[in-house]
Amino acid sequence: MAQTPARAASAVRLFDAHCHLQDPRVAAVAPALIRAAAASGVARFAVNGTSEKDWHLVKQMAVDHPAVVPCFGLHPWWVPERSPDWMDSLRRFFSETPEAAVGEIGLDKGSHGKTIDFGEQVEVFRRQLELAKELERPVSVHCVRAFGDLLEILTEIGPFPAGVLLHSYLGSAEMVSGLANLGCYFSLSGFLTSMKTTKAKKMLKSIPLDRILLETDAPDALPKLDNFPVSPIPVHASNADTENQPKDSDPQAATASNESLNHPANIHIVLKYVASLLEISEAELAEVSYKNAIKLFSYPGSKVHPEAEAI
């Protein structure tokens, strides 16, 4: 039977729909981050693996923390490092972890993504999308400067009844309708603060309320807003024991400072900012985004069940 997280004293409940608490910059302090976020009202955390090197860490984190929803996927940045039998390994993780969703997978033509063969990215992405459809699991998708390619591939392989989470969505308002028709949800993070306010507001208002999700993408995507103060990670990442963590799970892992690291409790800042742009109350956005996440992550075998987590 699914375990329902205890309700926090917070007036709202939130679901961090995409984060990376297995990241070597924060993995050793992840239990403290989960406790702090839970105390603030964050009831669930979808923790996304990115390569063969960290899937076991995500799997163990989900065992240790009932509030963690595990997700396994091969991120486009790690496509060149995949082993010949990566797909067999990925299937094995899903077979052993029936509560897992698919992610993080995707396409990237950004500064780092441009160094990785796009044809290989597409091949790996397509295989994982097909796996998500076969398993009837939702899939968390990374897309940077490749929304045209993304729409074409999703159209060809979709629709996706189990849902597609477009993580840290920064696409145009004009693309929302077509993506939504394929089963996409639009997850918003602190990266939204990098978008021009007028463009962000137009994009947000084009998203159906029943397709909005909130996330932190921790330890990345720390919101940067003058009028929305954020807190850096509340524990010293320098205390993390990284001996047993993937050495190269993030290009910035060696240089990231404590002040630049994000953590799940900062989802409240995302909530405040998105609610202000949508011109709705934080309570309304919290409730609708939580219900949307519960619906998305309520697949057969999941820890999450709508009737057990009704607001």
Please indicate, yes or no, if residue 256 is contained in any of the structural domains. Answer: no
Please indicate, yes or no, if residue 305 is contained in any of the structural domains. Answer: yes
Is there a binding annotation on residue 64? no
Please indicate, yes or no, if residue 3 is contained in any of the structural domains. Answer: no
163: alpha, beta or left, given left = phi > 0 and alpha = psi -120 to 50? left
Residue 208 token pair:
């159906």
Please indicate, yes or no, if residue 9 is contained in any of the structural domains. Answer: no
Residues 76 and 124 sit within 8 Å (Cβ to Cβ): yes
Per-residue pLDDT of the chain (311 residues; tens, 9 = 90+): 444 444 444 578 999 999 999 999 999 999 999 999 999 999 999 999 999 999 999 999 999 999 999 999 999 999 999 999 999 999 999 999 999 999 999 999 999 999 999 999 999 999 999 999 999 999 999 999 999 999 999 999 999 999 999 999 999 999 999 999 999 999 999 999 999 999 999 999 999 999 999 999 999 999 987 777 777 676 554 444 333 333 334 433 333 456 789 999 999 999 999 999 999 999 999 999 999 999 999 999 999 988 777 65
Please indicate, yes or no, if residue 281 is contained in any of the structural domains. Answer: yes
Per DSSP, what are the bridge partners of residue 116? Answer: none
Which is nearest to 20 in space by CA: 34, 1, 4, 6? Answer: 34
Please indicate, yes or no, if residue 219 is contained in any of the structural domains. Answer: yes
Can you give the pTM of this predicted structure? 0.89
Residues 65 and 27 sit within 8 Å (Cβ to Cβ): no
Q: Which helix (H) or strand (E) holds 35?
A: helix 30-39
Residues 194 and 222 sit within 8 Å (Cβ to Cβ): no
> Furthest-apart CA pair in the chain: how many Å?
50
Please indicate, yes or no, if residue 253 is contained in any of the structural domains. Answer: no
Please give the tally of structural domains in the chain: 1
CATH number of the domain at 210, please. Answer: 3.20.20.140
Please indicate, yes or no, if residue 290 is contained in any of the structural domains. Answer: yes
Range of the domain at 305: 14-232+261-309
Is there a binding annotation on residue 56? no
Q: Which helix (H) or strand (E) holds 47?
A: strand 42-48
C-beta contacts of 86-91 below 8 A and 24+ residues apart: 86/52, 87/127, 87/131, 89/52, 89/55, 90/52, 90/55, 90/128, 90/131, 91/131
Is there a binding annotation on residue 305? no
Is there a binding annotation on residue 20? yes
Cβ-Cβ contacts under 8 Å for 164 (sequence gap 6 or more): 138, 139, 141, 154, 158, 179, 182, 183, 184, 185
